[in-house]
Structure formats: structure tokens, C-alpha cells
Amino acid sequence: MIHVDIRSKSFGGRPVLGQVRFDIRPGETVALLGPSGIGKSTILRIVAGIDPDFDGTVDRPDNMAIVFQEPTLLPWRSTLKNLTLTNPGLSRNGARAALERVGLRGKERMFPGQLSLGQQRRLALARAFAGQPDLLIMDEPFVSLDAETAETMIGLTEALIAEHRPATLFVTHARSEAERLANRILQLRGDPATLSPHIV
């Protein structure tokens, strides 16, 4: 069980988050929905342990993976190396299978700069799921994709979550994405922002 209890978060003395409390059960996908700039990514960074400067507590597993808005790949490493370097227990055959699962078969030796944005996003997904995370955090992973590519990526993400069943925190401003992927939607509102729950 992931337990999040944020009492407050400020930047430069300005409160941006009020009380934000929620749990994520194993295998559950929770979407955090709200307009741009309200604090969704701030909550994500707190939950991930990237931002420890807040009042509150977060209980999370050690084995977690993050899919950022940008793929954050190593441009000087091949697609295969991007998987095996970040997942040291993954064999080359396992890495090839992970690439094939996301539609990147035959691209093992290509570098991120040789891939389209959609293919880079596929590689980022493969990298996240290859480690069999107990907690998966996704920060608007479909942003800036064209409609057809976004639809393909949402379908792929939906299938991978169903296969691996990590506890998942999914941050988005698109209600359609949240309603499709999530078991529960948490709506972020106000200034400082707090949660208003909406059950799917």
C-alpha cells in the first residue's frame, strides 16, 4: 500500500499545496487530474522522493519506475543499452522481448535520436516496465503526441498496466485519459491546491 499524506508544500514562502492525502492499493491505477500549473507534477515529485522539502509523509516501495513527460533517454546509448543500463538484472534476451512488446522489434541498435517521439515514448515505457516496479509514476506521458500516436500509446500503456499490475499514479490534465486508464480519479483544485475525489 502506498500512503501519501502531504500537509503542505510551499515555494519561496508561497503555499502551493494544502492537505493532499490518498492511498494507492497494489494493482490500482489512480489518476491525478487538474489544470496546468496547479501542482500535479509537484505531488508526483514528492511521491517519487525527488522533492523531500514538504510537510508530511509518504510511504512507498523501493522498487518504482517513473515515466516523465519527456522520455529522458541516454542519447549516446542504443535502445538495448537504455534498457539494460537502467535495469541491470535484465538479460539481453529479456531486453529484446521488452522492446518487441512495445513495438520496437529490430531497433535494438538504434539510438534515441534515430527514433520518432512516439518510438522514444515506447522505449521509455519498456524501460519502466522492464524492472517490474511495485509503483509506477507517469507524468503526462502522452503530451505533445498527435491524436493517432497518443491513442496507440494509451492502448499500449493500458495493456502493460493490466499485464504487470503495479500500483500506478498517473498525472494528467485530460479527463478522457484519466477515465480510460484509472480505477480512481483525484481532482486537484484551489489555491493552495487540495484534493476533491471523484470515483470512476
- Domains of the chain, by residue range, sit at 2-63+133-199, 75-132
CA distances from 110 to 19, 96, 105, 122, 174 (A): 45, 13, 11, 14, 32
Asked if pLDDT for residue 131 goes beyond 90, the answer is no
Q: What is the mean pLDDT of residues 85-108?
A: 90
Question: Which residue is it, cell 519498456?
Answer: 126
Asked if pLDDT for residue 25 goes beyond 70, the answer is yes
Residues 56, 161: Cα–Cα separation, whole Å: 29
Omega prior to 192 cis, within 30 of 0: yes
Tens of pLDDT along 49-65? 999 999 999 999 999 99
Give the chain's mean pLDDT: 91
Tens of pLDDT along 142-164? 888 888 888 898 999 999 999 99
Strands (DSSP E) found in the chain: 2-11, 14-17, 20-24, 29-33, 55-59, 64-67, 135-139, 167-172, 184-189, 194-199
CATH code: domain 2-63+133-199 is 3.40.50.300
